[in-house]
């Protein structure tokens, strides 16, 4: 029997990210919290990580995949989602940092899926007034893979290419293959036929408190890891104060809690998908 | 302790609301965004944007509207209605997207509010007639009831305090042996375990700054005392707050529709004046309460004493929520509408009007906007120009009129400065040449809006098309449809969502048939000009007879104006 405060079976049966393999190798040992429960992670021989619970209760199961140490308190955790780009040998894998945010995982995922805030929150980088329109795009919940997918998403970006000052529409695809993880695919400046991947893996410390693990799997020979990290730190630093001023902090699943517009189709599908899963942790469920 | 939500409390000092600031206030566990508009109106709103719950206290107060920091949604002064959603610049937001508001009254240097007031604000008797000095507020980690019971413990050096009176919300104190005015000390209940002490001296003392320091020290000592007492008892749970759900219709995003021209509002003609040669302006104010939110380009149906209903554009600038101002040109060959407004309707009269409806929305995702107004066509253009000006978007307003005496609202035009260019007394050829000049430099993210008499409007559209302006960048509004309507055809209309098939006979419009069969179908001008009765065509070939749709939209064949247009095919399937 586990002693976590979280009793939501949907969340307990997931794998949750704790730390990147690289960071753990540097630190040797790391203490963190998962679902209100303190844990210690140790870097062992040949990079094998061990995770032990601080205090009473059983230690979680451990998985090392996609460059991260994942843990689960479940009896039989769901297998982790596919992320084939991670395995492609010519891509660079760059973890771009961990951010503590006082908000629920659901709010952070929605912000990641949202294009409408680019001109206001990421002014001059991912968007710029007056080019504020979110054009029609497609969303589906893939039955076979149990994930929310948004395609044909286009948004005006002021400096669409590195070597250009001209703005243009950039195309994005979003995947939400896990209640707390999302991936963004964006055309690669280096190879137009392939797409760069940016990921957001959320570690729920509590219902209203997360660690956000961010990073990229990209085709890029020009930029240093440091400049890529710096870019992502700027972007996330702009999102954090907005996320922490969302009220309520937990994600409301009732369609009448907030006002959806067509631009929010992905978020609407995501909320409905969470409702259908019966997830209750970090959300405000629809009143029965 | 039960909470009385009807009680008024001070929630801020007037000095907390400096120019263009948004102040975060709290009362009984609720958070408020409090902001003063440039017209001095104090708005007290629930502190969350209806879209994604971001606090509005981190938003931007531009003096007329409050803009949410997350997605740039704009909410109007007074009504708290949403006026613009940047993610969908071509659409007018449903006017029912409206923030929850609370009453706000500014008196004696304080802002007063109540969660659920039983009646209008009444200043506590103890403050009546005084010239007050408001002290610095002191927040406490203590239950409001506990704080109230200990207010008499306030001690000032060199004197003794004496409680004259005490109520459920304040204590009235005097200071014997000190040359100081009496103090009224309010407890603002912030939450179950938190409150703010708000002191008001009943007169301005000889040394205000020194007195403020003196009370600040004394109140901080009182704070330590009360918080120590509060720490001995277990802290109560914070007050649980429910957020009011949004309207059901908004949750699924369909447009709100109602049959026919509506007359849901009563207004009084507060002022009627001749704004230019042959043009009367009317300032319409609500009989009671507030007016619904309008957006630039919106019109209202005005129901006239002679039984007619006519459409007039609102000229107001952003945030001007206390009235609607319209203008009416005297038409010699009027069907009776302008005649009636010019002659019969006088200051003080009561009129029935509809809520504003916007079929001519202003896109603001533009690097520059060109507005072209002909004569009385200035009215929607004025509202647009004032919104663009307030938002800092580059624009030019070209106003074509017979003479200087024919320029309506000269005082408002002056405020817009060099962005307004007037073109006076031009003949059609000169007008056309001028339009060629104005429309010569089409570029990315530029938009053109036109309102004026039919021939001028058509000339402008022709010039724009020749100069390379794409259809989607050209927006226009006709006063009326002067085309001859051919209503001789007979066809069948199938309503996909209502699962009904109806016959439209010669001499009747689709709209009339819909309304006769109990289908909710909004309409306004009913002559193919305003666009209110627009429907989506799923199947069939529409016979367009309106002046609302652009040629591209007409050619696409997937939209129809049901009050005049008909069907070329035997059957038309509509998404109704």
Q: In 3-state terms, what secondary structure has residue A2?
A: coil
Residue of B nearest to A259 (CA): B51
Average pLDDT score over residue span B112-129: 95
Calculate helix-pair angle for B428-438, B454-466, nearest 10 degrees.
40
pLDDT at position B255 is 39
Indicate the burial class of A206 (C-beta count within 10 angstroms; 0-12, 13-18, 19 or more): middle
pLDDT at position B484 is 85
In angstroms, rounded to a whole number, what is the distance separating the alpha carbons of residues B120 and B8?
Answer: 9
State whether residue B72 sits within 8 Å of chain A by CB: yes
Within-domain flag for B134: yes
Question: Token pair for residue B147?
Answer: 């704080």
In angstroms, rounded to a whole number, what is the distance separating the alpha carbons of residues B107 and B10?
Answer: 10
- Which residues on B lie below 8 Å from A121 (Cβ)? 69-70
Average pLDDT score over residue span A11-18: 97
Confidence of residue A1 (pLDDT cuts 50, 70, 90): very low
- Say which residue the tokens 């709010």 belong to: A107
The verdict on a CB contact (< 8 Å) between B53 and A254 is no
The verdict on a CB contact (< 8 Å) between B69 and A110 is no
The verdict on a CB contact (< 8 Å) between B250 and A259 is yes
**B72 vs A120, A252, A261: nearest CB:** A120
Q: In 3-state terms, what secondary structure has residue A205?
A: strand
Altogether, the residues listed in chain B come to a count of: 576
Q: Are strands B110-113 and B30-36 parallel, antiparallel or unpaired?
A: unpaired
- Which residues on B lie below 8 Å from A261 (Cβ)? 51, 85, 87-88, 253
What are the two backbone dihedrals, phi and then psi, of residue B168, each rounded to the nearest 5 degrees? -75, -5
- DSSP strands (E only) in B170-232: 170-176, 183-191, 194-201
Q: Are strands B446-452 and B368-374 parallel, antiparallel or unpaired?
A: parallel
The verdict on a CB contact (< 8 Å) between A133 and B248 is no
Q: Which of B86, B368, B445 to mutate to test the interface with A (most CBs of A within 10 A)?
A: B86
Q: Which residue stretches of B392-453 are H helix?
A: 410-415, 428-438
- Which residues on B lie below 8 Å from A113 (Cβ)? none
Give tens-digit pLDDT for A143-152.
888 999 999 9
State whether residue B369 sits within 8 Å of chain A by CB: no
Q: Which residue stretches of B441-524 are H helix?
A: 454-466, 510-516
**A117 vs B70, B89, B243: nearest CB:** B70
pLDDT at position A5 is 80
Same domain, B132 and B115: no
**B393 vs A110, A116, A130: nearest CB:** A130
Same domain, B429 and B443: yes
Confidence of residue B258 (pLDDT cuts 50, 70, 90): very low
Q: Which residue stretches of B405-453 are H helix?
A: 410-415, 428-438
In angstroms, rounded to a whole number, what is the distance separating the alpha carbons of residues B391 and B412?
Answer: 16
In angstroms, rounded to a whole number, what is the distance separating the alpha carbons of residues B478 and B482?
Answer: 9
The verdict on a CB contact (< 8 Å) between A263 and B50 is no
Residue of B nearest to A287 (CA): B245
Q: Which of A259, A275, A284 to mutate to test the interface with B (most CBs of B within 10 A)?
A: A259
Residue of B nearest to A133 (CA): B87
Confidence of residue B310 (pLDDT cuts 50, 70, 90): confident
Question: Token pair for residue A12?
Answer: 């307990």
H/E element, A265: helix A265-277
Q: Which of B268-277, B290-299, B521-530 is predicted with the least confidence, judged by mean pLDDT?
A: B521-530
Average pLDDT score over residue span A75-100: 95
Within-domain flag for B237: yes
DSSP B248-300: HHHHH-PPP--SB----EEEEEEEEEEEETTEEEEEEEESSS-PPP--TT-EE
Contact by Cβ (8 Å): A282, A251:
yes
**A116 vs B71, B367, B393: nearest CB:** B71
Q: How far is B389 from chain A (nearest CA, A)?
A: 14
Q: Which of B29, B50, B70, B73 to mutate to test the interface with A (most CBs of A within 10 A)?
A: B70
pLDDT at position A57 is 81
The verdict on a CB contact (< 8 Å) between B89 and A247 is no
Residue ranges of the domains in chain A? 1-80, 82-284
Among candidate residues B290, B312, B511, B311, the one with its CA nearest the CA of residue B408: B312
- CB atoms under 10 Å from CB of B419, counted, come to 16
Indicate the burial class of A234 (C-beta count within 10 angstroms; 0-12, 13-18, 19 or more): exposed
Say which DSSP state B175 is in: E
Q: How far is B97 from chain A (nearest CA, A)?
A: 8
Same domain, B244 and B152: yes
Q: How big is the A-B interface in CB pairs under 8 Å?
A: 97
Same domain, B136 and B173: yes
Give tens-digit pLDDT for B139-192.
999 999 999 999 999 999 888 899 999 999 999 999 998 999 999 999 999 999
- CB atoms under 10 Å from CB of A124, counted, come to 10
Confidence of residue B421 (pLDDT cuts 50, 70, 90): very high
% of chain B surpassing 90 pLDDT: 75
Q: Chain-centre distance of CA B79, in angstroms?
A: 5
pLDDT at position A3 is 43
Q: Are strands B65-67 and B559-561 parallel, antiparallel or unpaired?
A: unpaired
State whether residue B2 sits within 8 Å of chain A by CB: no
Interface subset of B 233-272, CB within 8 angstroms of A: 243, 245-248, 250-253
Question: Token pair for residue A112?
Answer: 């990641």
H/E element, A47: none
In angstroms, rounded to a whole number, what is the distance separating the alpha carbons of residues B140 and B142?
Answer: 5
Q: How far is B93 from chain A (nearest CA, A)?
A: 10
Average pLDDT score over residue span A41-48: 94
pLDDT at position B497 is 80
Q: How far is B33 from chain A (nearest CA, A)?
A: 13
Is the backbone peptide bond immediately before A130 cis, with ω within 30 degrees of 0? yes
CATH of the domain at B27: 2.102.10.10
| Cβ-based neighbours of B57, under 8 Å, separated by 6 or more | B22, B23, B24, B31, B33, B47
Question: Token pair for residue B114?
Answer: 């109540």
**A245 vs B58, B87, B243: nearest CB:** B58
DSSP B9-63: EEEEEGGGS-TT-EEEEEETTEEEEEEE-TT--EEEEESS-TTT-B-GGGSEE-S
Q: How far is A95 from chain B (nearest CA, A)?
A: 26
Within-domain flag for B203: yes
- Residues A33, A39, A44: CA angle, nearest 5 degrees: 130
Contact by Cβ (8 Å): B162, B155:
no
Q: What's chain A's average pLDDT?
A: 93
Within-domain flag for B483: no
Contact by Cβ (8 Å): A178, A195:
no
- Say which residue the tokens 């205090």 belong to: A55
pLDDT at position B205 is 94
**B54 vs A131, A133, A245: nearest CB:** A245
Indicate the burial class of B334 (C-beta count within 10 angstroms; 0-12, 13-18, 19 or more): middle
C-alpha distances in Å from residue B176, one per residue of A12, A69, B162, B184, B381: 66, 70, 7, 15, 65
| Cβ-based neighbours of B429, under 8 Å, separated by 6 or more | none
* Residue range of the domain that includes B220: 125-256
Please provide the CATH number assigned to the domain covering A82-284. 3.90.380.10
% of chain A surpassing 70 pLDDT: 97
Among candidate residues B137, B144, B190, the one with its CA nearest the CA of residue B168: B144
Same fold, A1-80 and A82-284: no
Q: Which of A107-121, B163-177, B219-233, B473-487 is predicted with the least confidence, judged by mean pLDDT?
A: B473-487
Does residue A47 come out as left (phi exceeding 0), alpha (psi in the -120 to 50 range) or beta?
left
**A116 vs B87, B246, B250: nearest CB:** B87
CATH of the domain at B473: 3.40.50.80
Same domain, B241 and B130: yes
Contact by Cβ (8 Å): B30, B5:
no
pLDDT at position B237 is 85
pLDDT at position B254 is 38
> Last residue of a domain, which of B326, B353, B380?
B353
Q: Which of A132, A154, A275 to mutate to test the interface with B (most CBs of B within 10 A)?
A: A132
What are the two backbone dihedrals, phi and then psi, of residue B404, each rounded to the nearest 5 degrees? -60, -35
**A262 vs B50, B54, B88: nearest CB:** B88
pLDDT of B256 over the 50 cut: no
Is the backbone peptide bond immediately before A248 cis, with ω within 30 degrees of 0? yes
Q: What's chain B's average pLDDT?
A: 92
Give tens-digit pLDDT for B100-109.
999 999 999 9
In angstroms, rounded to a whole number, what is the distance separating the alpha carbons of residues B89 and B363?
Answer: 5
Contact by Cβ (8 Å): B383, B319:
no
In angstroms, rounded to a whole number, what is the distance separating the alpha carbons of residues A271 and A287?
Answer: 14
A1-80: CATH class: mainly beta
Calculate helix-pair angle for A105-113, A225-243, nearest 10 degrees.
120
Within-domain flag for B156: yes
Q: Which of B24, B26, B52 to mutate to test the interface with A (most CBs of A within 10 A)?
A: B52
If one counts the domains in chain B, the total is: 5
pLDDT at position B15 is 96
What is the largest distance, in Å, between two alpha-carbon atoms of chain A? 59
Altogether, the residues listed in chain A come to a count of: 288
Within-domain flag for B458: yes
The verdict on a CB contact (< 8 Å) between A260 and B253 is yes
C-alpha distances in Å from residue A99, one per residue of A27, A36, A102, A204: 17, 17, 10, 12
Q: Count Cβ neighbours within 10 Å for each residue of B480-494 and write b for 16 or more, e otherwise.
A: ebeeeeeeeeebebb
Taking the alpha carbons of A88, A91, A96, A97 in that order, is the dihedral positive or negative? positive
Q: How far is B396 from chain A (nearest CA, A)?
A: 17
Q: Which of A155, A239, A244, A247 to mutate to test the interface with B (most CBs of B within 10 A)?
A: A247
Within-domain flag for B360: no
pLDDT of B97 over the 60 cut: yes
Within-domain flag for B485: no
Say which DSSP state A51 is in: E
In angstroms, rounded to a whole number, what is the distance separating the alpha carbons of residues B83 and B97?
Answer: 9
Average pLDDT score over residue span B495-510: 88
In angstroms, rounded to a whole number, what is the distance separating the alpha carbons of residues B170 and B193?
Answer: 17
> Last residue of a domain, which of B256, B291, B313?
B256
CA count, 13 A, side-chain hemisphere, B32: 27
**A248 vs B53, B87, B367: nearest CB:** B53
- Residues B114, B48, A262: CA angle, nearest 5 degrees: 140
pLDDT of B356 over the 50 cut: yes
Same domain, B499 and B562: yes
Same domain, B319 and B408: no
Q: How far is A136 from chain B (nearest CA, A)?
A: 10
- Which residues on A lie below 8 Å from B97 (Cβ)? 259
Question: Token pair for residue A283?
Answer: 């959300």
């Amino acid at each position: 029997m586990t002693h976590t405060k979280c009793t939501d079976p949907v969340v307990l049966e997931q794998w949750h990210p704790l730390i990147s393999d690289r960071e753990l190798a540097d630190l040797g040992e790391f203490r963190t919290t998962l679902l209100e429960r303190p844990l210690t992670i140790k870097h062992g021989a040949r990079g094998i990580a061990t995770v032990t619970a601080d205090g009473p209760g059983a230690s979680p199961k451990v998985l090392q995949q996609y460059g991260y140490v994942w843990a689960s308190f479940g009896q039989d955790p769901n297998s982790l989602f596919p992320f084939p780009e991670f395995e492609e040998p010519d891509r660079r894998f760059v973890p771009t940092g961990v951010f503590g945010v006082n908000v629920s995982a659901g709010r952070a995922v929605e912000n990641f899926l949202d294009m409408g805030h680019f001109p206001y929150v990421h002014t001059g980088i991912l968007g710029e007034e007056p080019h504020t329109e979110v054009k029609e795009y497609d969303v589906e919940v893939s039955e076979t893979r149990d994930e929310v997918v948004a395609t044909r998403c286009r948004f005006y970006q002021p400096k669409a290419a590195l070597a250009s000052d001209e703005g243009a529409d950039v195309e994005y695809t979003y995947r939400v293959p896990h209640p707390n993880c999302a991936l963004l695919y964006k055309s690669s400046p280096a190879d137009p036929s392939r797409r760069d991947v940016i990921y957001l893996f959320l570690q729920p410390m509590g219902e209203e408190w997360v660690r956000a693990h961010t990073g990229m799997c990209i085709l890029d020979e020009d930029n240093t890891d440091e400049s890529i990290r710096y870019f992502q730190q700027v972007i996330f630093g702009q999102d954090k104060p907005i996320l922490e001023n969302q009220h309520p902090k937990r994600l409301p699943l009732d369609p009448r809690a907030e006002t959806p517009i067509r631009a929010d189709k992905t978020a609407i599908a995501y909320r409905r998908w969470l409702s259908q899963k019966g997830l209750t942790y970090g959300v405000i469920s629809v009143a029965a | 302790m039960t909470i009385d939500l009807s009680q008024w409390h001070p929630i801020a000092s007037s000095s907390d609301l400096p120019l263009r600031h948004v102040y975060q206030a709290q009362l009984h566990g609720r958070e408020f965004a409090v902001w003063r508009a440039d017209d001095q109106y104090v708005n007290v709103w629930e502190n969350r944007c209806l879209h994604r719950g971001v606090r509005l206290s981190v938003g931007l107060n531009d003096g007329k509207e409050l803009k949410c920091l997350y997605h740039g949604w704009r909410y109007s002064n007074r009504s708290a209605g949403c006026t613009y959603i940047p993610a969908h610049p071509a659409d007018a937001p449903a006017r029912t997207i409206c923030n929850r508001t609370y009453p706000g009254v500014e008196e004696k240097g304080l802002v007063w509010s109540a969660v659920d007031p039983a009646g209008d604000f009444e200043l506590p008797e103890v403050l009546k007639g005084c010239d007050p000095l408001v002290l610095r507020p002191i927040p406490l980690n203590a239950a409001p009831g506990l704080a109230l019971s200990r207010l008499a413990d306030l001690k000032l050096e060199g004197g003794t305090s004496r409680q004259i009176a005490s109520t459920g919300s304040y204590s009235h104190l005097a200071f014997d042996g000190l040359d100081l005015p009496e103090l009224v000390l309010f407890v603002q209940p912030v939450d179950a375990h938190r409150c703010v002490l708000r002191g008001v001296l009943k007169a301005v003392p000889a040394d205000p700054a020194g007195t403020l320091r003196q009370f600040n020290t004394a109140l901080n000592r009182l704070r330590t005392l009360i918080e120590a007492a509060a720490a001995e008892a277990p802290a109560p749970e914070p007050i649980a707050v429910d957020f009011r759900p949004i309207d059901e219709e908004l949750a699924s995003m369909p447009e709100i529709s109602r049959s026919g021209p509506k007359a849901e509002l009563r207004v009084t003609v507060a002022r009627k004046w001749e704004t230019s040669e042959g043009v009367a302006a009317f300032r319409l104010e609500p009989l009671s309460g507030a007016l619904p939110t309008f957006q630039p380009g919106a019109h209202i149906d005005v129901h006239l004493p002679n039984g007619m209903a006519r459409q007039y554009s609102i000229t107001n600038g952003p945030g001007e929520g206390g009235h609607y101002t319209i203008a009416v040109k005297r038409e010699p060959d009027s069907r009776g509408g302008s005649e009636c407004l010019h002659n019969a309707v006088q200051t003080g009269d009561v009129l029935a009007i509809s809520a504003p409806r916007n079929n001519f929305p202003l896109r603001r995702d533009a690097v520059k906007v060109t507005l072209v107004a002909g004569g009385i066509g200035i009215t929607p253009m004025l509202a647009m120009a004032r919104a663009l000006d307030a938002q800092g978007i580059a624009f030019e307003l070209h106003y074509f009129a017979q003479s200087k005496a024919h320029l309506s609202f000269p005082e408002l035009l002056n405020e817009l400065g060099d962005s307004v260019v007037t073109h006076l007394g031009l003949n059609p050829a000169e007008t056309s040449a001028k339009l060629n000049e104005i429309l010569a430099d089409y570029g990315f993210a530029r938009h053109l809006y036109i309102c004026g008499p039919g021939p001028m409007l058509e000339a402008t559209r022709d010039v724009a098309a020749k100069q390379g302006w794409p259809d989607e960048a050209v927006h226009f509004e006709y006063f009326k449809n002067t085309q001859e309507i051919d209503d001789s055809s007979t066809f069948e209309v199938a309503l996909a969502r209502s699962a009904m098939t109806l016959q439209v006979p010669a001499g009747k419009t689709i709209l009339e048939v819909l309304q006769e069969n109990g289908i909710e179908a909004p309409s306004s001008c009913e002559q193919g000009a305003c666009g209110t009765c627009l429907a989506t065509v799923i199947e069939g070939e529409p016979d367009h007879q309106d002046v609302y749709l652009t040629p591209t939209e007409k050619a696409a064949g997937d939209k129809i104006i049901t009050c005049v247009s008909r069907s070329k095919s035997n059957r038309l399937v509509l998404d109704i």
